[in-house]
Amino acid sequence: MEVDERPGKETATVVTAGGVLPPPEEKAAYVRDLFSEIAPRYEAMNRLISLGQVTRWRRILLRRCGIGANARVLDVGTGTGALAYEIAHHHPDAEVWGCDVAGPMLEVGRKNRRGERVHLQEGDALALPFADDTFDAVTSAFVMRNVDDLSLALREQVRVTRPGGRVACLEICPPGKRSLTAPLFHFHFFHVVPWLGRLITGSRNAYRYLPHSTLAFPPPARLAEAMGEAGLRDVTYERYTFGTVAIHVGTVG
């Protein structure tokens, strides 16, 4: 067991075969505190560790969502609102909402507002604060691996999406062991990223947790099955950037 050495923090973690992850019963609080801590540098780190690809991935996700005119769109786990602002920028007639459990992330997002109209509010992915059938599309980026009940999170997204609307998910996925890129991915994500994270954000644990959380997350084919089990139809996914990220899209109803 290791203890977070920040003043006032005693966040216990368990050492697993894949790395350092919080115990299941502590995951929600651990993740909220972790992202609150790294909020000021979160977007800079995203751009750095993705080698600038994160913006491209978000734009591909938006194209695959097929967002129509005057749509209502929700970004779950919006963090600093980067994806929500991207949606508003490309769809100025849309009504865009973003919700996240980490208040400091949202505060950074409000300060970084680029002029687009986006509603940012605190909200739990497992109990979204919206009525049934509210949105035409629901998105998430690098979020689902951080929830402690994937099935419930997906069902909540389906619940707030109108029939015929789409649910889209962007997640990192390690390439297969036989992939030629696997050794490079592993070295970058499990050695370079933690070092950069500690250097830039000052967080000892955040960028050890984030890479290892991908190992505990279902692979793309299983995530597609989970989306179908949650009530989505016609679920498809594509892998990008040498198979290191996957974008899933499904339709409600």
CATH of residue 173: 3.40.50.150
DSSP code, position 190: I
Q: pTM of the full predicted structure? A: 0.88
Q: What is the pLDDT of residues 197-232, one digit of tens each?
A: 888 888 878 888 888 898 889 999 999 999 999 999
Q: Which tokens hold the place of 50?
A: 């993705």
The 3-state DSSP class for residue 155 equals helix
Q: For the chain (length 253 residues), average pLDDT per consecutive 10? A: 31 42 89 93 92 95 95 97 95 96 95 82 97 98 95 98 98 83 87 89 84 89 98 97 95 95
Q: Which stretches does DSSP call E strand in the chain?
A: 2-3, 12-16, 19-21, 72-76, 95-100, 118-122, 135-141, 161-172, 232-240, 245-252
Q: Which tokens hold the place of 181?
A: 């890129």
Total tally of structural domains belonging to the chain: 1
Q: What is the pLDDT of residues 169-203, one digit of tens each?
A: 999 998 877 787 888 888 988 889 989 988 888 88
Q: Which domain holds residue 17?
A: 2-252
Contact of 70 with 162, CB cutoff 8 Å: no
Contact of 162 with 251, CB cutoff 8 Å: no
